[in-house]
């Protein structure tokens, strides 16, 4: 045992109770009890500073560790051919993540460039193996990563030609011709216009598809004008909208649009809304100050009906005095009288005007038939229907016109003009769907269209 005057060089460690007493008295010695509010404020400030400075402190303590790990993972993914992946583990996504963490690192940008070149090479390999979907996907990735444009364009052209060869362009075109001959112009995957569009996507200069699409669109516009003459503005707008989807620059489109605006009494803004499927807009006043009766949904009182009929008959007299019996824009004397009859079938003035003009419409129909101008004859026939022609005589005239269309189609088919034969077939079907010989002629047109691909 050491003497009291001699200090032990290895003193006994404090007991647990002594340590507990020291710890419990620490808040008092530090003033935490008396100044607890300041200690609380200081603690909160320290937490905020750590949150704000976490990234700089981490970068200082562990410089570029995470970015470096991402670059290594990206290099591994590139070596394994995993160029892009939706789960973010592809080479592209990993390099882009590393670039976001370290924008100044040149190696990361070079890595993305190597991914682009690898994507282009994978597209070539897929093309050689006729894996067209993979080729398109890899080519899109290469373009997104700014691969040299000349190389990408050359590969895209090779891909288009190879795909066209394997897709059977001739077969697609034959199916389009068959659908066209059957009158199935639009409305489904197997109809003519979508098939023509598919052919042209694979071979943009295909002459048959270009000609067929032009003819089909012309037929749709002719149907739109027929719908306008029948007063079906909605159907006409639908057909015009379809044509604009396939070819907004079609040669017959401006005239049909003008007729549609005139018939629907629309300005340019209203026409745009109508073609987009919205409201038809506010009607414009006609020169005679009469709105289209078909556009009025509210019932008219007798005074308003008489006023409108009188205005229409006045407009008809003015048009007749100017020699405008028929007008493609719907502003001829016959058009105004037909509108007056539709508004008031019992109007003595409208009936008298119709009786006066009906012989002129019959004469027009006969004259155009003699001249073999069948489209004009059809317009005159529509005028006869609007003026109240006898149903039996009208049916006979429609049968005669349809037979003439079939004769023209037969002549065109014999000359090898399949497109014109199809147009005649469609016209005959519109005039009289029950005309004898229609189905037989349709089968012949179909067979000729199918055989034409071997020419």
- Choose the final residue of a domain: 355, 389, 423: 389
Q: Are residues 194 and 265 in the same domain?
A: yes
Q: What gap in Å lies between CA 8 and CA 3, rounded to an integer? A: 9
The 8-class DSSP code of residue 286 comes to P
Closest CA to 228 of 259, 274, 206, 190: 259
- Residue 143 DSSP one-character state: H
**Minimum mean pLDDT range among 3-12, 79-88, 240-249:** 3-12
Question: Do 438 and 379 share a structural domain?
Answer: no
Rounded Cα gap, residues 86 and 158, in angstroms: 28
Identify the DSSP state of 267.
-
| Other beta carbons within 10 Å of 288 | 18
pLDDT band at 117 (very low <50, low <70, confident <90, very high): very high
When divided into structural domains, the chain yields a total of: 4
Tell me the residue range of the domain where 294 lies: 287-389
Give the C-alpha separation, 243 to 250, whole Å: 8
Give the E-state strand segments of 41-92 in sequence order: none
Phi, psi of 284 (to 5 degrees): -90, 150
pTM recorded for the entire structure: 0.40
**Backbone torsion region of residue 19, taken as left when φ is above 0, otherwise alpha when ψ lies between -120 and 50, otherwise beta:** alpha
Q: Looking at the structure, do residues 358 and 450 belong to the same domain, yes or no? A: no
More confident residue, 79 or 454: 79
- Number of neighbours of residue 345 by Cβ within 10 angstroms: 11
> What's the rounded mean pLDDT across residues 140-166?
81
Tokens of 239: 């057909």
Domain boundary among 143, 167, 191: 167
pLDDT for the residue numbered 88: 81
Same domain, 193 and 262: yes
> Which of the four pLDDT bands, split at 50, 70 and 90, describes residue 70?
confident
Regarding whether 294 and 251 lie in a shared domain, the answer is: no
Examine the domain organization and report whether 324 and 378 are in the same domain.
Answer: yes
Q: Is residue 10 part of a domain?
A: no
Handedness of CA 272, 276, 281, 284 (dihedral sign): positive
Please check whether residues 366 and 419 belong to one and the same domain.
no
Q: Do 401 and 357 belong together in one domain?
A: no
Establish if 325 belongs to a structural domain. Answer: yes
């Amino acid at each position: 045992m050491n003497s009291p005057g001699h200090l032990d060089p290895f003193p006994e460690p404090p007991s647990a109770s002594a340590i507990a007493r020291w710890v419990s008295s620490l808040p008092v010695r530090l003033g935490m009890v008396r100044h607890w509010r300041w200690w609380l404020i200081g603690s909160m400030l320290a937490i905020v500073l750590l949150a704000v400075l976490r990234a700089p402190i981490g970068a200082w303590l562990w410089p570029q560790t995470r970015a470096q790990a991402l670059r290594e993972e990206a290099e591994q993914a590139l070596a394994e051919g995993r160029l892009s992946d939706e789960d973010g583990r592809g080479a592209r996504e990993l390099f882009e993540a590393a670039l976001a963490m370290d924008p100044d690192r040149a190696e990361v940008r070079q890595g993305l460039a190597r991914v682009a070149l690898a994507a282009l090479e994978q597209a070539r390999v897929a093309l050689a193996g006729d894996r067209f979907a993979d080729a398109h996907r890899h080519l899109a990735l290469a373009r997104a990563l700014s691969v040299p444009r000349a190389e990408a364009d050359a590969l895209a052209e090779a891909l288009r030609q190879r795909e066209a060869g394997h897709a059977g362009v001739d077969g697609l075109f034959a199916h389009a011709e068959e659908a066209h001959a059957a009158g199935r112009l639009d409305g489904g995957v197997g109809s003519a216009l979508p098939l023509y569009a598919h052919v042209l996507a694979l071979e943009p200069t295909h002459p048959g598809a270009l000609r067929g699409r032009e003819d089909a669109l012309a037929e749709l516009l002719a149907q739109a004008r027929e719908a306008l003459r029948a007063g079906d503005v909605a159907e006409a707008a639908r057909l015009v909208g379809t044509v604009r989807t396939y070819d907004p620059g079609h040669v017959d489109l401006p005239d049909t649009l003008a007729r549609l605006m005139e018939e629907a009494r629309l300005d340019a803004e209203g026409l745009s809304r109508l073609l987009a499927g919205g409201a038809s807009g506010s009607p414009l006043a006609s020169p005679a100050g009469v709105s289209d009766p078909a556009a009025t949904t509210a019932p008219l009182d007798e005074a308003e009906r008489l006023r409108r009929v009188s205005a229409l008959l006045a407009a008809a007299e003015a048009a007749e005095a100017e020699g405008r019996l028929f007008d493609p824009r719907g502003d001829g004397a016959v058009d105004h009288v037909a509108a007056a009859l539709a508004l008031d079938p019992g109007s003595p003035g409208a009936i008298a005007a119709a009786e006066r003009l009906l012989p002129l419409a019959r004469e027009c129909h006969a004259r155009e038939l003699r001249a073999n101008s069948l489209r004009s004859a059809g317009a005159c026939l529509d005028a006869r229907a609007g003026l109240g022609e006898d149903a039996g005589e009208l049916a006979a005239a429609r049968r005669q016109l349809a037979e003439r269309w079939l004769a023209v189609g037969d002549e065109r088919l014999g000359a090898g003009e399949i497109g014109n034969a199809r147009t005649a077939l469609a016209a005959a079907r519109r005039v009289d769907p029950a005309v004898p010989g229609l189905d037989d002629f349709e089968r012949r047109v179909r067979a000729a269209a199918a055989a034409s691909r071997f020419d």
